[in-house]
Amino acid sequence: RAQAGHPSFDALIAADLRVEPRDDMPEEYRSTLIRQIAQHAHSEIIGMQPEGNWITRAPSLRRKAILIAKVQDEAGHGLYLYSAAETLGVDRAELLDKLHEGKQKYSSIFNYPTLTWADNGAIGWLVDGAAIMNQVPLCRCSYGPYSRAMIRVCKEESFHQRQGFEILWTLMRGTPEQQAMAQDAANRWWWPSLMMFGPPDSGQDASKGHTAQSMAWGIKRFSNDDLRQKFVDMTVPQAQRLGLTLPDPDLKWNEERGHWDFGPIDWDEFWRVLKGDGACNAERIAHRRRAHDEGAWVREAATAYAAKHDASRAA
Ligand code: ACO
């Protein structure tokens, strides 16, 4: 099956069928998926930190229970995604080492701080809202294990998005101080959420870009700018319902395009955060490394248990 030109792979892609781990695939397809799935998995587990930071300070038992469940969901997403990456022949220990050494990325968004309770609302509403917009098309990704992992992830993300919206909804019906807190959180999270979709498709800030190849392979189904526009179009009416003002004076309905126009994104900030110069980059990685080191005994115990189990089965 592993013939030159990967005919079976090309036929699968042409027919819009799923590529499975047993199938022959070009090396670049494999390495693109490992890069994207690893970055995605790392984002899920680093993404536990900004909200995890608020578990001890959630304003009620109900809010605390929801937040714990949500942060645990993110850990679960990381696990499905590391498992999906492993079907491509990499080891999750190796991927985690690369994260800890700064050799693989995680989403820019998680390098911003959670300053008030309202930030948990803004993260659910905007960050998880952006994540869903990006991830629903990944349920149709050409690589089977990744696409299947995305189905459950998206269902859970939509619960996360609603709980964030509901936090802000409650604050916006509260005291003037609570309304101001919600508005401040929306002001700080709006632009970084738009950056989550990645660099623009064209212009001076366009990256060398993986989009064209990833779309040809059916990994990405939409370009970064198309998804960003869909997100803006979905979110503006929600902001109006909440009574929040999005911090963009250029936000305007464009009748001709049938979309919301929005102002320029500060791509210098995005590239700075990617290079490690965001408010929380150092803290996020230090915390992750510490958690990894402190969890070493659990991994050792699990390995010893598995070896004992295998030995007793072989006997
Ligand atoms: N944060 C950090 N890095 C980013 C981001 C971002 N928001 N957006 C793009 N990049 C990086 C890309 O990884 C790539 O870097 P590399 O060449 O060193 O690997 C570079 O910027 C250029 O970007 P693209 O050519 O657009 O890269 P790609 O085709 O991989 O598209 C995207 C980026 C849209 C994020 C894609 O990888 C994707 O859909 N990933 C899955 C979703 C995901 O990772 N979500 C994580 C956040 S959501 C959450 O966890 C709640």
Look at residue 254 and give its three-state secondary structure.
strand
- In this prediction, residue 10 carries a pLDDT of 94
Cβ neighbours of residue 53 under 8 Å, at least 6 residues apart?
Answer: 114
Q: What is the mean pLDDT of residues 128-150?
A: 97
What is the Å distance from ligand 1's center to 92 Cα? 19
Give the pLDDT score at 204: 85
Tokens representing 131?
């994540």
3-state helix, strand, coil in the chain (%, to 5): 70, 5, 30
Q: Check if 221 has its Cβ closer than 6 Å to any atom of ligand 1.
A: no
Q: Which residue lies with its CA nearest to atom 46 of ligand 1?
A: 40
**Spatial distance between the Cα atoms of 88 and 30, rounded to a whole number of angstroms:** 7
pLDDT digits (tens, 9 = 90+) for 281-298: 999 999 999 999 999 999
Of the candidates 186, 210, 200, 183, the one whose C-alpha atom is nearest the C-alpha of residue 270 is 200
How far is the C-alpha of 242 from the C-alpha of 76, rounded, in Å? 30
The Cα 115–Cα 108 span in angstroms is: 17
Q: CA angle 73-39-208, nearest 5°?
A: 145
**Which tens digits make up the pLDDT trace of 172-200?**
999 999 999 999 999 999 999 999 999 99
Of 50-54, 117-121, 211-215, the least confident: 211-215
Cβ–ligand 1 contact at 107 (below 6 Å)? yes
DSSP state of 207: -
224 CA to middle of ligand 1, Å? 9
On the question of pLDDT at 2 being above 70, the answer is no
The proportion of the chain whose per-residue pLDDT surpasses 70, expressed as a percent, equals 98
Confidence of residue 205 (pLDDT cuts 50, 70, 90): confident
pLDDT band at 7 (very low <50, low <70, confident <90, very high): low
What is the 262 CA–ligand 1 centroid distance (Å)?
Answer: 21
Q: Which pLDDT score is estimated for 1? A: 45
Q: Which residues contact 86 (CB under 8 A, 6 or more apart)?
A: 92
Percentage with pLDDT > 90 across the chain = 94
The yes-or-no verdict on residue 3 having pLDDT over 70 is no
Q: Is the model's pLDDT at 152 over the cut of 90?
A: yes
Distance of CA 227 to the CA centre of its chain: 14
DSSP-based three-state secondary structure for 264? coil
290-302 residues labelled b (16+ CB within 10 A) or e (exposed)? eebeeeeeeeeee
Mean residue pLDDT across the chain: 95
Mean pLDDT value across residues 268-275: 97
Q: Is 44 in the pocket of ligand 1 (CB under 6 A)?
A: yes
Q: Residues 73-100: pLDDT tens digits?
A: 999 999 999 999 999 999 999 999 999 9
Residue 313 pLDDT = 86
Residues 56-76 have pLDDT tens digits of 999 999 999 999 999 999 999
pTM of the entire predicted model: 0.95
**pLDDT surpasses 90 at 4:** no
279, pLDDT greater than 80: yes
C-alpha span between 23 and 15 (Å, rounded): 15
Q: Could you tell me if 238 and 262 are in contact, meaning their C-beta atoms sit under 8 angstroms apart? A: no
Residue 198 CA to ligand 1 center (angstroms) comes to 6
Structure tokens at 140: 């149709």
Q: How far apart are CA 307 and CA 310, in angstroms?
A: 5
Q: Which pLDDT does position 150 carry in this prediction?
A: 96
Ligand 1 pocket member 207 (CB < 6 A): yes
User: Cα-atom radius of gyration of the chain, to the nearest Å?
Assistant: 21
**3-state secondary structure (DSSP) of residue 143:** strand
